[in-house]
Amino acid sequence: MMSGAAQSLFAALFPSECRICNAPLANLSRLPVCTECLGRIVPVPDTQCGVCAAVLPPGYPFGPEGAVCGQCRADLPSFDRAVCFGPYSDTLRELIHLLKYRHVRPAANLLGRYVARAARALPFGGRVMVVPVPLHKSKWRERTFNQAELIAWAAMRDLGAQCATAFQVRADVLVRRHATVSQVGMSREQRKNNLRGAFAVSGHADVRGAEILLVDDVLTTGATVSECARVLRIAGADKIWVATAARAVQDSVAAASYSQADSGEGTSPEWNTSEQVGGVPVQAGARGTSI
């Protein structure tokens, strides 16, 4: 049992209510979220695009290589494959918001664990650079941390304990040169052009022949990670994987783009209601596809 002084010190340091549902917290934890809320976080369905992890509608054709969404068939992203743990909705979205907007840093440990769980599906080689998607320095000054970097460190600790691969977090590899311009209302092509030049490989980083795991909190349309992968590829990277804690699906894509204004992945309502993706007619469930 804690002494009265220890109890009050603990109460001062840690909130006693779940930051998501306000229920009293029964257990002492650095993460102020109750077990009921955490229990509601579930993985994305298995019916995903084998390239960009977009959730596909039931009945979507699976070939011998798995399923590939219409958008990836029309225009392959610059990364080899993306994996994501859960849908960007409900408690998982709340957890990401706690980290990014309310600075509840212990949430990064759990989000990193989710990233590691998703990344276990990737065929890693012997050495992997874990590269967080960078923030522009103006955003970094405002937030004082890069959530993708905190998640990357936590993911690396988990992955390193489970795989023979040597993982090294390299937050110095990519730099974000432009502050974000809102992409709401832009077409897919405009969005791609808007991101051109937003990222660069820093001068001292040698990624020639490297195997890279790009890490971010959420994958919305995939435009941001694809642009990161493009510059890494030009700089000589060999394999480029992407792992995120959450994947925007269906209607949450639009919501994600608005709450995600700082990620540069804004999507327009038009994007979400387009009748065709990459020239292939899709059902509602397939609209959370990547660029």
Q: For 5, phi and psi rounded to 5 degrees?
A: -65, -40
Work out the number of other CB atoms within 10 angstroms of the CB of residue 175: 18
Smallest separation, CB 59 to Zn ion (Å):
17
Smallest separation, CB 241 to Zn ion (Å):
14
Smallest separation, CB 144 to Zn ion (Å):
26
Smallest separation, CB 21 to Zn ion (Å):
3
Backbone dihedral region for residue 22 (phi beyond 0: left; psi -120 to 50: alpha; all else: beta): left
**Is there binding between residue 110 and Zn ion (CB under 5 A)?**
no
Work out the number of other CB atoms within 10 angstroms of the CB of residue 29: 13
Tell me how far apart the alpha carbons of residues 284 and 291 are, in angstroms, rounded to a whole number.
Answer: 17
Joined tokens for residue 244: 């995120």
**Is there binding between residue 72 and Zn ion (CB under 5 A)?**
yes
* C-beta separation of 58 from 251 below 8 A: no
Work out the number of other CB atoms within 10 angstroms of the CB of residue 200: 17
Please, which of residues 20-49 interact with Zn ion by CB under 5 A?
20-21, 23, 34, 37, 49
Residues in the chain: 291
**Judged by CB under 5 A, which of 18, 118, 215, 229 binds Zn ion?**
18
**Is there binding between residue 69 and Zn ion (CB under 5 A)?**
yes
Smallest separation, CB 20 to Zn ion (Å):
5
Checking DSSP bridges between strand 81-87 and strand 239-247, what pairing results, if any? parallel
Work out the number of other CB atoms within 10 angstroms of the CB of residue 194: 19
**Is there binding between residue 51 and Zn ion (CB under 5 A)?**
yes
**CB-nearer residue toward Zn ion: 9 or 62:** 62
Smallest separation, CB 200 to Zn ion (Å):
26
**CB-nearer residue toward Zn ion: 18 or 99:** 18
Enumerate residues 6+ apart whose C-beta is below 8 A from 138: 179
Tell me which stretch binds Zn ion (CB under 5 A): 51-59, 163-171, 187-195, 209-217: 51-59
**CB-nearer residue toward Zn ion: 182 or 283:** 283
**CB-nearer residue toward Zn ion: 52 or 213:** 52
**CB-nearer residue toward Zn ion: 17 or 206:** 17
Closest CA to 192 of 158, 228, 164: 228
Query: Residues in the site for Zn ion, rule: CB under 5 A?
Result: 18, 20-21, 23, 34, 37, 49, 51-52, 54, 69, 72
